[in-house]
Amino acid sequence: MDRHRMGARTGPSDSPAWAVAASWLLAGLSAAMSLTACTFVRGGIGDEFTTDQLAVIQKGTSTRADVVAALGAPDRVVEANGHEVFQYYRYDIKSTSLFLILVNFSRTNIKSDDLFVFVNKNGIVDEMVFGKRTKDMEFRVWPFGD
Amino acid sequence: MAHIPICSRAAVAAVLIVAFAGCDPIVSFSRITLNTPLTAQETDFIQPKMTTFVQIVEQLGPPNELKGTPEGAVAVYYFLDGKRTRVNYTAPAHVVQAFIPDLVVSVWGVGVDQLTIWFDDRWVARDYGFAFNRKIGQFRLLPTREAEK
């Protein structure tokens, strides 16, 4: 009996084409199923500061009322060196999780944008500082390293 | 030794993977960070009695917190790094017996770095210093092992 003509196999090297294709298909399915889930989560606290809002605040001319009209009530008010310091902040949160069969990886990054407005005793803005730390924040899943 | 066809081996692997898919993973690594840590090199430009608040903000960005003091003000930059390791030591045994109790060990630590800068009443830096507590935030497989110094 001709074993090759009947599709019987004596080793991997003489497997029929359909068996090789099926094994690759199963291997692919196995690999796909080993990645059981992946999640992306985005969160935030506070509204983003717009350029229009920031443009309203001018050193030496804007008043306390102008600041509050543009940005709303501050998140925090501090008295320092004869200034009333208005602090506004927002937080951006990006979280990624990779759920594999045997191991899970998860990473959550949080960064803040902070705006400080220094109002003098006459109610006029003396200084304004703004930092946007959230602009270069990415979704990252690898929890090791920096 | 009987030869096992390659497709059968793949099928067995697929069945095992599906069987594991509903199980708790053996190991989980989680990390949460707040802001980007500053290094001592990045603050070298700060000269007490010379560098102003605005110059510092131009280099480091605004602080996370500002407080008034009788002598002036204090600016604080916070950086947080939290790491959690969770291991289910009996998870591999679930392949043969689903009702084996879990033995889960979880170790976590949150390290907080802080840069504090003191200003005089003219918003000129008087002094500054770091508080490094990030060593506690390490991935550890056993709770009995102390964090590396």
Identify all chain B residues contacting A104, using CB atoms and an 8 Å cutoff: 25, 27-30
Which pLDDT value is given to residue B1?
Answer: 46
CB of B108 within 8 Å of a chain A CB? The answer is no
The alpha carbon torsion through B144, B140, B86, A28 (nearest 10 deg) reads -140
Average pLDDT value for residue range B76-93: 88
CB-based contacts of A11, cutoff 8 Å, min separation 6: B3
Q: Which of A13, A49, A81 is the mutation pick for testing B, counting most B CBs within 10 A? A: A81
Of the candidates A93, A91, A104, the one whose C-alpha atom is nearest the C-alpha of residue A139 is A93
Q: Which of B28, B117, B122 is the mutation pick for testing A, counting most A CBs within 10 A? A: B28
In degrees, rounded to 5, the angle at the alpha carbon of residue B120 between the alpha carbons of residues A121 and A116 is: 55
Average pLDDT value for residue range B90-96: 81
Largest CA distance in chain B: 87
Which pLDDT value is given to residue B18?
Answer: 56
- The answer to whether the beta carbons of residues B114 and B123 sit under 8 Å apart is no
CB-based contacts of B4, cutoff 8 Å, min separation 6: none
Identify all chain A residues contacting B30, using CB atoms and an 8 Å cutoff: 104-108, 143
- The answer to whether the beta carbons of residues B46 and A63 sit under 8 Å apart is no
Distance from C-alpha of B122 to C-alpha of B90, rounded to nearest angstrom: 62
pLDDT class of B99 with cuts at 50, 70, 90: confident
SS3 A56: helix
More confident residue, A129 or B137: A129
More confident residue, B109 or A42: A42
Cβ A129–B54 below 8 Å, yes or no? Answer: yes
CB-based contacts of A57, cutoff 8 Å, min separation 6: A66, A67, A70, A71, A117, A125, A128
CA distance readout (Å), B142 to B4, B34, B83, B92: 40, 25, 13, 18
pLDDT class of B149 with cuts at 50, 70, 90: low
CB of B18 within 8 Å of a chain A CB? The answer is yes
- Give the end-to-end CA distance of chain A in Å, rounded to a whole number: 65
Which pLDDT value is given to residue B147?
Answer: 64
Distance from C-alpha of A28 to C-alpha of B19, rounded to nearest angstrom: 17
pLDDT single digits (tens) B8-53 = 665 666 555 555 555 567 899 999 999 888 888 889 999 999 999 9
**Strand pairing category for B125-131 and B104-119:** antiparallel
B59 membership: H or E segment, kind and range: helix B53-60
Q: Which of B5, B35, B72 sits opposite A112 (nearest CB)?
A: B35
Which pLDDT value is given to residue A123?
Answer: 95
pLDDT single digits (tens) B59-83 = 998 999 999 999 999 999 988 888 9
Identify the segments of chain A with pLDDT beneath 50.
1-10
Which pLDDT value is given to residue A23?
Answer: 82
Distance from C-alpha of A44 to C-alpha of A25, rounded to nearest angstrom: 42
